[in-house]
Structure formats: structure tokens, C-alpha cells
């Protein structure tokens, strides 16, 4: 593990020496599971929700790190990983499907994100878009095809609040516009990356049905029938991890 004097303040990742490509996830346990896929995996820091590993995937050196739940905390990880040398970020997360025809365990490759994340509105005007690097979308799509994985492309809705409250959600409008899924961190990654000259993409495993179907009308703070702890989701996450790592390998190969 890195000594405190050689670590960045929030995440405790090393100040220098990290590989330049990273897979970022929400759950520290998921970070460990993805790291288990690597050769010579090493945990380099674990502070709060931020757990970081380095290792090699099929000859490509990578970082795997967790950012916790929600964009305000996640963007702190992105900032410190970038300071430590990361230049390409792929987020592997989970999401609730909005667009019809997207099933549990499927992968959503996000071309762009709706900026309802609760943090980027304080960093840059709302008119600034949250978009994936095109090469990241292409690499994720190719990796998904080569894996034979069911996948979809589209815009995702990044929303700060996990559970609905007393205010109406614009879910019907976003569904009518063809938004594919809802999650909590990706737009922050896209805005941070594009404003700092970095490469970012996102692949989200569907762990629930249409977001409106998960709301209990008698209890607006209930998550209803939401259950992400199912085999179909676990299989999708494992497959998605390999796809994200393969996409990093493809991106690395394209640079040479």
C-alpha cells in the first residue's frame, strides 16, 4: 500500500506511477472482483469507498478503482486518478432500463448522458453536453460483439437521487425521447473527461426494469421490486467486466 506522504488526499491513490487506463466501478467489492481477472493484481489503496488496484489484462496495464455511489464522490476519484496519470476511463456500472426491449443482464453502451448528476451543474453551464469519446464507444461495441454479449447503445440518464421523492420525475419525457437507462455517475465522468482532454466511455449492466415500474405509488421512497442481487445480473456484470477490460486493450492497441 502507498505511504500517506506519497498518496493523494481523498482517495489515497499513489501520486504517480499508475497505468494510464482505468476501469472504474461503484462498489469496492466489484473492484476486487474485476481485479481478480487481472494478472499480477495489486491493491494500491483503500480509503473510504475508494479501492484501487493495478494489474495487467492480456498485456495491457490497467487500473481498477471504485468510486462509491453518486457523482459528487465519484468525480473526486476521477480527478485524483487523472492527477496520478490515468488518461482513459471506462465506467462499468449498473443501470435501470428505460427503453423497451432492454433486458436484465444486457449491456448499455452510453453514447452520452443526461446531466442530472448533482455536481456538474456547479462546474460548467448546463448547456455543456456530457458525451463519450467516440473511440471508447467503438471499442466497447467491438468488445461486446466479440464476446457475443447482448448490448444496446444510446443516451443514459444520470440522476443524483437514487430513490424518488415527492417531486415528479421526467421519466415519461425521457422514455419518449428514447433514453436507454438510468444510473448515477456517468455524466460526471463524461464532463470531467471532455473538459480535461481525457478519453471516457461507459458500459452499464441492466439490473432492473423500467424505472417507473420500480416506484411504489403508496410509498414514494420505496424501491419496490428492485433486486440487483440476482444471477442474471451477476453474470452480466462478470461479462461486462471482461468487455470493459477488452475495450481498454483495444484502445491501447489503436494507439500503437
The per-residue pLDDT for range 28-70, each reduced to its tens digit, is 999 999 999 999 999 999 999 999 999 999 999 999 999 999 9
Query: Burial level of 101, CB count in 10 A (0-12/13-18/19+)?
Result: exposed
* Most distant CA atoms of the chain, gap in Å: 57
Averaged pLDDT, 114-139? 98
pLDDT at 19: 98
Q: Which three cell numbers stand for residue 125?
A: 453551464
- Phi then psi dihedrals of residue 209, to 5 deg: -80, -170
Which helix (H) or strand (E) segment holds residue 23: the answer is: strand 21-25
Residue with cell 470493459: 244
What does CATH list as the number for 4-254? 3.40.50.1580
C-alpha span between 52 and 44 (Å, rounded):
6
Q: What is the dihedral of CA 83, 92, 119, 200, to 10 degrees?
A: 50
Tell me what pLDDT residue 221 has.
45
pLDDT in tens, 129-161: 999 999 999 999 999 999 999 999 999 999 999
Domain residue ranges in the chain: 4-254
CA–CA dist 185, 194 (Å, integer): 15
Nearest 5 degrees, angle CA 225-CA 68-CA 155?
A: 65
Amino acid at each position: 500500500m502507498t505511504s500517506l506522504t506519497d498518496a493523494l488526499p481523498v482517495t489515497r491513490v499513489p501520486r504517480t506511477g499508475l497505468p494510464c487506463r482505468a476501469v472504474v466501478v461503484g462498489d469496492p467489492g466489484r473492484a476486487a472482483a474485476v481485479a481478480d481477472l487481472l494478472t499480477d493484481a495489486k491493491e494500491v489503496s483503500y480509503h473510504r469507498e475508494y479501492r484501487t488496484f493495478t494489474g495487467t489484462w492480456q498485456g495491457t496495464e490497467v487500473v481498477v478503482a471504485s468510486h462509491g455511489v453518486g457523482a459528487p464522490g465519484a468525480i473526486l476519484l476521477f480527478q485524483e486518478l487523472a492527477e496520478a496519470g490515468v488518461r482513459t476511463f471506462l465506467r462499468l456500472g449498473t443501470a435501470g432500463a428505460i427503453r423497451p426491449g432492454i433486458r436484465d443482464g444486457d449491456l448499455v453502451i452510453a453514447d452520452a448522458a443526461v446531466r442530472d448528476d448533482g455536481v456538474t451543474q456547479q462546474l460548467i453551464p448546463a448547456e455543456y453536453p456530457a458525451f463519450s469519446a467516440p473511440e471508447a464507444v467503438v471499442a466497447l461495441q467491438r468488445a461486446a460483439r466479440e464476446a457475443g454479449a447482448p448490448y444496446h447503445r444510446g443516451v443514459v440518464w444520470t440522476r443524483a437521487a437514487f430513490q424518488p421523492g415527492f417531486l415528479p420525475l421526467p421519466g415519461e419525457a425521457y422514455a419518449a425521447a428514447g433514453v436507454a437507462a438510468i444510473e448515477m455517475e456517468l455524466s460526471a465522468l463524461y464532463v470531467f473527461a471532455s473538459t480535461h482532454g481525457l478519453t471516457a466511455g461507459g458500459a452499464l449492466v441492466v439490473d432492473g426494469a423500467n424505472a417507473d415500474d420500480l416506484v411504489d405509488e403508496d410509498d414514494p421512497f420505496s424501491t419496490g421490486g428492485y433486486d440487483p442481487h440476482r444471477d442474471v445480473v451477476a453474470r452480466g456484470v462478470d461479462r461486462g467486466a471482461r468487455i470493459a477490460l477488452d475495450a481498454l486493450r483495444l484502445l491501447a492497441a489503436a494507439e500503437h
